[in-house]
A and B are shown apart, each in its own frame.
Chain A
């Protein structure tokens, strides 16, 4: 269960305080798949960073399976993220200096979830599942955008995470490739019982989800502290 309560993320500069995201309350059940929707600047990416523990909220708390992420020390959050979170970004997901296979191995090296002896085989198996097993020793720049995103999807699930976050994973892909990547993530999440949160502004993508959470720009809030999200 992922729970977000009264979370605000603010950035301060000399003249003003900018609220990047504000969420009153959001609960996502274990194994649930949701689409996170909102206009540009509504804080979708920031919210995903907060959920992944890359950022900590200015106020409020984020709990995942009863663990309060926002109060964990940074190193614990790093370890938790390595083991429990799979993250896909919009583009430039892969480490350009590493070969395709190594991009998966590096993710496994931080998590230590898959036994060392099985890591190579598991990486090859996953890359085979996403259709790039013939590109194991290629560098990311030698792959098409669609292939890169498929490798990124494989990397996101390589540690069998309980939470998969995808930040507009189809935005830089054509429709076919976009749907293919999304199907992969949804399929994996379904099979492994992982929670999947996908941010998107693509209507075709969001329509595939049973639950859609809308995130409004924090500045649009009358109270300045609450952002509503609703079930579609």
Chain B
């Protein structure tokens, strides 16, 4: 019954109660979105790097190398010689080395030239292969293509379909003459490679040889840019173990024409930079929460002051001062619980919308669901709300009954 009184008191002032709930909800939603984005992005990025123990690529920005190789974004730094790949594949510390070549696209979807051993690549020993087939088979000869799940769905590609790639990384580039035939479609990997089209690396070399011949025929000097022959953009290296990885990394520091990176490490560094912005957003959210709770406490306080007569009537009915205290506290608790619940729901709604955008724009699949930190926000927000409610309750539960009856 005390809860009913508190609830009815809130309903009696719908605008005041509604605004208070909205303020608390806005603060909680902001914190929830920041937390979910942080956790989801981190998990999504880390998961995307899982198949990539080590990457070797041209010297330059490690971030660019990761963005290009792992996330299929940005342009490659440059190429490295095929000899580097060969040396790596013969290195006793290396379990497998897969050459990767970028440079073409089909309607904006990155074409990844690679060795066929990519289909046997296991991110971790004993795990199933990274790339699983939903239909078809791996490519076996040049100009066969295996299409990622999302690329196949969005491009409408099916087994047996043919398409022509274009030069460059964005749609509208010069089209290559030779058509690719789809021989396999992959299951989703929940990562950027869902948007990839995998082809034999030789196809890339052949396509570019023809492209360069054509360009030369048109008497355009651009030999540096198109000198792709027997070069690779990156090498995906799987060391035999952790210590081998470290030794390999040290060995590779001597290499002048290429760099070796741990993608996970690059992501962690990248995240620590992003983390500063995230921390700022969190701080703002905490400030808004504190402000929201102060406003809530004031709202309950003013509301309680305005209902002095009601409290006097309750006392005349036998309600104790403790009952009055409980009713006022219950009002704060209800406002907080509703605000927190609405905030969490709104936060998840905004987050889900952002997930869709991130998936389509950045090809990062963010994790969903309730995080541990979110549970802390729910419990902490509610507890602080109730604590804030103690102030108006303590200030108003004692009343001079005679004055109001």
Which residues of A approach B to under 8 Å, CB–CB? Answer: 45-46, 49, 52, 54-55, 74-75, 78-79, 81-83, 85, 87, 89, 92-98, 102, 105-107, 109-111, 155, 167
Q: B322, A49: Cβ atoms under 8 Å? A: no
In B11-39, which residues have CB < 8 Å from any A CB?
11-12
Q: Is the CB of A95 within 8 A of B310?
A: yes
B401 at the interface (CB under 8 A from A): yes
Tell me if B1 and A78 are in contact (CB < 8 A): no
Chain A residues lying within 8 Å of B357, measured Cβ to Cβ, are none
Q: CA A167 – CA B404 in complex, angstroms?
A: 13
Residues of chain A within 8 A of B313, CB atoms compared: 89, 93-95
Given contacts A75-B320, A107-B318, 4 further A-B contacts (CB under 8 A): A54-B405, A82-B318, A95-B314, A109-B1
State whether the Cβ of B47 lies closer than 8 Å to any Cβ in chain A.
Answer: no
Interface string of B301-322 (1 = CB under 8 A from A): 0000000011001111111111
Q: Which residues from chain A contact B320 at a C-beta distance below 8 Å? A: 74-75, 78-79
Q: Once bound together, how far apart are the Cα atoms of A82 and B315, in whole Å?
A: 9
The reply to whether A78 and B309 form a contact with Cβ atoms under 8 Å apart is: no
Least Cβ distance of B272 to chain A in Å?
A: 52
Q: Does B402 contact A (CB under 8 A)?
A: yes
> Given the interface contacts A46-B402, A54-B402, A92-B309, does A102 sit within 8 Å of B8 by beta carbon?
yes
Tell me, yes or no, whether B9 is within 8 Å of chain A by CB.
yes
The listed residue (B2, B319, B401) touching A55 by CB distance below 8 A is B401
- Given contacts A98-B5, A106-B1, is CB(A78)–CB(B318) below 8 Å? yes
Inter-chain contact A102/B405, CB cutoff 8 Å: no
Decide: B5 and A54 in contact? CB cutoff 8 A: no
Q: List 11 A-B contacts (CB under 8 A).
A: A52-B316, A54-B316, A78-B315, A78-B323, A79-B318, A82-B317, A92-B309, A96-B310, A97-B9, A98-B4, A106-B314
Report whether over half of chain A's contact residues are helix, strand or loop; otherwise say mixed: helix
Q: Flag if B405 contacts A49 (CB, 8 Å).
A: yes
> A45-B402, A55-B401, A78-B320 given as contacts; is B5 within 8 A of A106 (CB)?
yes
Min CB distance, B323 to chain A, in Å?
7
Q: How far is the CB of A12 from chain B (nearest CB, A)?
A: 14
**Closest A residue by C-beta to B404:** A92
Closest to A110 in B: B318
In the complex, which residue of chain A has the Cβ closest to the Cβ of B1? A109
Q: B-side interface residues toward A, CB under 8 Å?
A: 1-2, 4-5, 8-9, 11-12, 309-310, 313-323, 401-402, 405
Residues of B within 8 A of A79 (CB): 318, 320
Interface centre among A45, A55, A82, A111, by most B CB within 10 Å?
Answer: A82
- Chain A residues in 8 Å Cβ range of B1: 105-106, 109
- Note all chain B residues with C-beta closer than 8 A to A54: 315-316, 401-402, 405
Residues in A neighbouring B316, C-beta threshold 8 A: 52, 54, 81, 87, 89
Looking at the complex, which one of B8, B9, B317, B405 makes contact with A107 (CB distance below 8 Å)? B317
User: Which chain A positions have C-beta within 8 A of B4?
Assistant: 98, 102, 106
**By the criterion CB–CB under 8 Å, are B402 and A97 in contact?**
no
Q: Are B8 and A45 in contact (CB under 8 A)?
A: no
Contacts of A106 in B (CB 8 A): 1, 4-5, 314, 317
Bound together, the chains give a CA A221 to CA B31 distance in angstroms of: 68
Task: Quote the shortest CB–CB distance from B398 to chain A (angstroms).
Answer: 10
A78:B405 contact, CB within 8 angstroms: no
CB-based nearest B residue for A105: B1
The reply to whether B319 and A78 form a contact with Cβ atoms under 8 Å apart is yes
Least CB separation from B321: chain A residue: A74
Q: How far is the CA of A111 from the CA of B320 in the complex (A)?
A: 11
